[in-house]
Amino acid sequence: MDLVTLAVLKGRLEGIADEMDATLFRSAFNPTIAEAHDACHGLYDATSGATLVQGKSGLPIFVGVMAFATKAVIDKFNTEPAGVTDGDVFIFNDPYLGGTHLSDFRLIRPYMRDGKVFCWLGSVGHWHDVGGAVPGNYNPSATEYFQEAVLIPPVRLYAGGDLRQDILDIIMAASRLPDVAYGDLQAHLAALDLGAARMQALLDEYSGETVAEALSELRARAAAQIRAQIAALPDGTWSHEDFLDNDGRVDAPLRIACDITKRGETLHIDFSRSAPTCAGPVNISRATTVASVYVALKHLFPEVPANSGVLDPIEIVIPEGSLLDAQRPKPTGGYTETILRIIDVMFSLFARIDPNSAYGNAYGTINALSIAGHRKLTGAADGRRWVLFQFFGGGHGGNPEGDGLSHGNPPIATAIIPPVEVMEAAYPVLYRQWALRPGSGGAGQHRGGLGAIYELEMLEDEAEAFVFAERARFAPQGVLGGGPGAMNHIVYGPPAAMQPPPLGSKVVGVHLHRGDRIRLSSPGGGGWGDPALRDPEAAARDRRLGYVVDGETP
């Protein structure tokens, strides 16, 4: 294929996924999708489910796991006598088939051409509440998925274009906020409709054969590019490990260990030394582990096109029975914390393999906060249920180009931290503080970015709060001599007597009253390089702006 046509088709295909992203973000009801953009869209291979194209606005981790989700639909429904028909839409949230956790609903639709599946359209987003023991579904003390949310296996929501009302009724009955869930569902369906329409127009203009050839060429180019970049690295074997604070049940650390061997154009990535499966909800599925590696590699090799070709020269070893290979009914609600640690470990490893691509660890937790209650003093004051769910930012690691980003999003996401104004308008809380956290970035030639301080005050008489977080026991690590970032710090209660949780980073079912507060001080990023080599002008600016505190090396 000539390069001009290939470039045009690449842009058109990516534009379809981007437009699907925008449709969902502008139509969804819950702020986690509408404001935070905790969602993603892509195009997937007709027979293997492999990623063909991803949207640039959605979460990268979703793109990786959606290949597994699509393959689960292919394996289940292509074996039926009727097979897959035009107008079918499949829905599920099973983390053991499609990765991540039960809050993330996947809708998958075949795009048909000449009576056959040409590709699959995928839409995934974080729904606000899907039942379970904890409003918002982040249950730090869960020991089975039954305590996290309702699991929906892959089912047909639409059969040949006809809605199956019984399936819809079951899904809506599982939510504490069915109106919000219904609005999100309609937004997903609108995104899929638009994707199908745009694919129809593209194939009518260029033909199915030409577009299929372009998709094959883009995948081959991604594989060739990453092979070339791997080949430029030195051969050898490197090892690194880091730890999760605990599993939410037992206050004992959990090892995430990785051994990387590079030979020629290939990488062998082995997680065999990682901790076994645990009681609490920091287990992740095999699909999620593979997707985490994919996201880390995309950070380290950003020029490589984002499709399944990235993984062609990569062998990933995930031991059975480890917390990186969760089997039902092991809980997976805190998957974000474990995949962030995987990425931290890989960043630290590549600092040794190739210092030019080294990053200090980012803050390593999303600080998932759930607060729920009933409206008796605010809003309609009619006793209606409200459920706040929010995640928060922190510091990114220093890097060869400069200091780490302050108050950024985690490396697994392009998600946006919801604005104060939106959250205060939607929920009975008042944000007393939302500020950079002085002194939280790790020292280095290039300093780690700063974490942030968030403090919320309750405006209702009663509320119940949960926090699922990490990095209260193990700080984000620096690289090449850089210092660690500050650890996570969480306190709650009356303003004059706020206290930390027993497990450091997990808050389970704390009862808050009007005027009580909860404050999260998120970690900073690890530093890059020897702090003694920091530019004196940059160090003076850090002090002038309050980025470092007295007695600290900037």
DSSP string, 101-165: -TTEEEEEEEEEETTEEEEEEEEEEE-S---SSSTTS--TT-SSGGGT-----SEEEEETTEE-H
Q: Which pLDDT score, from 0 to 100, does residue 357 have?
A: 82
Of the candidates 367, 520, 374, 370, the residue with the CA atom closest to the CA atom of residue 459 = 374
Distance CA 159, CA 86 (A): 8
User: Within 10 A of 76 (CB to CB), how many other CB atoms are there?
Assistant: 15
For the packed helices 165-173 and 178-206, what is the interaxial angle rounded to 10 degrees? 130
User: Within 10 A of 426 (CB to CB), how many other CB atoms are there?
Assistant: 15
Distance CA 309, CA 300 (A): 15
Q: Which pLDDT score, from 0 to 100, does residue 549 have?
A: 82
Amino acid present at 264:
G
Q: For the whole model, what pTM was predicted?
A: 0.93
Residue whose structure tokens are 């209260």: 472
Distance CA 370, CA 19 (A): 30
Q: Which pLDDT score, from 0 to 100, does residue 213 have?
A: 96
Residue whose structure tokens are 């694919």: 199
Q: What is the CA radius of gyration of the chain?
A: 23
User: Within 10 A of 475 (CB to CB), how many other CB atoms are there?
Assistant: 22
Q: How many residues does the chain have?
A: 554
**Residue 540 neighbours by CB under 8 Å, 6+ apart:** none
Q: Which pLDDT score, from 0 to 100, does residue 520 have?
A: 97
Helix, strand or coil, per DSSP, at residue 429? strand
Per-residue pLDDT 10s for the chain (554 aa) are 899 999 999 999 999 999 999 999 999 999 889 988 899 999 999 999 999 998 888 787 887 789 999 999 999 997 666 689 999 999 999 999 988 999 999 999 999 999 899 999 999 999 989 999 988 888 888 999 999 999 999 999 999 999 999 999 999 999 999 999 999 999 999 999 999 999 999 999 999 999 999 999 999 999 999 999 999 999 999 999 999 999 999 999 999 999 999 999 999 999 999 999 999 999 999 999 999 999 899 888 888 888 888 899 999 999 999 999 999 999 999 999 999 999 999 999 999 999 888 899 999 999 999 999 999 988 888 889 999 999 999 999 999 999 999 999 988 877 778 889 999 999 999 999 999 999 999 999 999 999 999 999 999 999 999 999 999 999 999 999 999 999 999 999 999 999 999 999 999 889 999 999 999 999 999 999 999 999 999 999 999 999 998 755 54
Of the candidates 348, 368, 338, the residue with the CA atom closest to the CA atom of residue 275 = 338
Q: Which pLDDT score, from 0 to 100, does residue 80 have?
A: 67
The answer to whether the beta carbons of residues 456 and 429 sit under 8 Å apart is yes
**Residue 495 neighbours by CB under 8 Å, 6+ apart:** 515, 516, 517
